[in-house]
Amino acid sequence: MMKDYDPSIICDYVTLFIQDADNHPDSRMTNGKCCWNIPYNAYYFKDRGSVCLMSIVDANLGKSVAECAIYTQKGFNGICSDTNNFEENIQDLALLGSFNHSKQDGSNYVTDYQTHQQIKLLTPARPTQIQLYFYNEQRFTIPFTSGGADNDKGHVTIKFEYVNPEELEKNIVKQEYGVAF
Amino acid sequence: MDDTSIICDYVTLFIEDGADTVGADTANGLFVWNIPNTAYYFKDRGSVCLMSIADAMLPREVGENLVVMTQQGFNGMVSQVDSAAADKINSDLAVLGSFTNFTSSGLGEFETKYKSPQVIKLLTPAKPRQIKLQFFTEDKTPLDMSSNPLDNSGHVTIKFEYFNPERLNNVIYSQEYKPAF
């Protein structure tokens, strides 16, 4: 049985600060889309496989950012049931993770799901650009504004794990239908 | 098979102990600790190891989300290709972890907290004789910890994990491209 798979021991960690996306020509900060170009030297080994597992290991946003979920278009094995309803008709978004927002609303503070698991999306290895999309729970974009407002502060640290092709192949084969007769 | 060592080394660094070491710059959130050789239980383990934060505490008076960075990680980086010049920090810094501050904003908002964090494990030279940590706010500003005595309370416990070089070699080689023909 495949364990909760952390196969490569040495993973790559790329930290993305929200404010650094502000200058990227493809970013649309007021619509919750942040882009970062990633230099080649961000990846410790250059000769690993062509795909890897992408997840968020660490992230923070300003407390004035309400409930927020982070999506990417790079996940082969993640999908939203109703992507076409997202603004700007963005296709193929997959959820990477989300935030709890603690706020006093009468006597309510937060509703917290108790047994989170890591979301690890299969993605092309060593991407030269990362685009993240920030939406609230109603699927409205999170507007990041430049100029030092609380909600353009924050960071996301992405982890890239590399997969042993042989073990992956065995694992996938095991999931196939067996011959009944 | 366990990928890393069962018996790890744990080095606890009190913030105030790192404030007066040569090289420390508390006004820019930089703390330095000299580590005695006796801090490491086995002296003859490999030349590299995985470094992570196992435990940490800072006073609530810090008042905002913080990021802890180190210069000692080979496989971590901050991507700031398109950053404004004023926003750039040293390119050899890597994020080890972060703190989410739970404080009322005055508008009844307390925190926005990522739900599924993972441990960041940076590859680093084993048995370092000196550890430097630098604290940044979420807008990449070095945290001034020189003025408020409360800011120099707290601790960070670093965990060092060692791995079997043969196992590591197997894992790394197995990630390489396989010849197609």
Q: Within an 8 Å CB–CB cutoff, is residue A60 touching chain B?
A: yes
Q: Within an 8 Å CB–CB cutoff, is residue B87 touching chain A?
A: yes
pLDDT mean by block of 10 residues, chain B; 181 residues? 75 92 94 93 85 91 89 92 89 93 84 89 93 93 81 88 78 61 61
Residue A14 in domain: no
At A149-171, the pLDDT tens digits run 556 789 999 999 988 777 777 77
| pLDDT above 80: residue A32 | yes
CATH fold for the domain made of B9-80+88-174: Jelly Rolls (2.60.120)
Q: Return phi, psi of residue A145, to 5°.
A: -115, 145
| pLDDT above 70: residue A20 | yes
Residue A74 in domain: yes
**Domain assignment of residue A48, given as a range:** 25-101+115-164
Q: Which residues of B touch A24 (CB under 8 A)?
A: 82
Q: Return phi, psi of residue A178, to 5°.
A: -90, 160
At A93-145, the pLDDT tens digits run 899 999 988 888 888 888 888 888 899 999 999 999 999 999 888 888 888 87
Q: Which residues of A touch B77 (CB under 8 A)?
A: 13-15, 39, 41-42
Q: How far apart are CA A143 and CA A129, in angstroms?
A: 21
Residues 6+ apart with CB under 8 A from A175: none
Best of B114, B162, B170 to disrupt the A interface (most A CBs within 10 Å) is B114
User: ipTM of this model?
Assistant: 0.83
pTM here is 0.86
User: Strands A12-17 and B76-78, how do they pair?
Assistant: parallel
Smallest CA-to-CA distance from B71 within B51, B87, B94, B53 is with B94
Domain boundaries defined on chain B: 9-80+88-174
CB contact under 8 A, B95 and A148: no
CB contact under 8 A, B168 and A45: no
Residue A123 in domain: yes
Structural domains in chain A (count): 1
At B65-103, the pLDDT tens digits run 899 999 989 999 999 998 888 889 998 999 999 999 888
